[in-house]
Amino acid sequence: MVSINLGVAMALFLGIHDMGGPISEESIQNSWSSYKKACGNHNCQPLHAHVGAEHGKAFCITEAQSVQDVQAAHDEAKVPVKEVIPVKDLK
C-alpha cells in the first residue's frame, strides 16, 4: 500500500522490537506514546503497534517515505528497534 501525503508517496514499514525478555505493558505504552510524538518530526504516521509483552516482542506499522525516517523517529523517541523493513498490506 502506498498513499500520498502532501503530494509525497508514503510506504508502509514494519518495526521489529526485541526487548530481550518480558516487559510491562505500561512501559510499552509509554514507548508507543513517545514514538508517536517523535513521528511528527520525521514525516511518519504511526498506524498500529502489536505487542507480546510476556515475550518481550513488539511490532509497529508506520507510514513513511523511507526506512531512515522511521529509524530516526525511533532514535528520537529512544525506542530501540532491531530492524525496520518495508511491507505491503494484504487485503
Q: How many other CB atoms sit within 10 Å of the CB of residue 30?
A: 13
Q: How confident is the model at residue 8 (pLDDT cuts 50, 70, 90)?
A: low
Q: Using CB atoms within 10 A of its CB, is residue 67 exposed (0-12), middle (13-18) or buried (19+)?
A: middle
Q: What is the pLDDT of residues 50-90, one digit of tens each?
A: 999 999 999 999 999 999 999 999 999 999 999 999 999 88
φ, ψ dihedrals at 13, nearest 5°: -135, 140
Higher-confidence position of 41 and 1: 41
Q: Residue 6: pLDDT above 70?
A: no
Q: How confident is the model at residue 7 (pLDDT cuts 50, 70, 90)?
A: low
pLDDT score at 3 = 55
Cell output for 74: 525511533
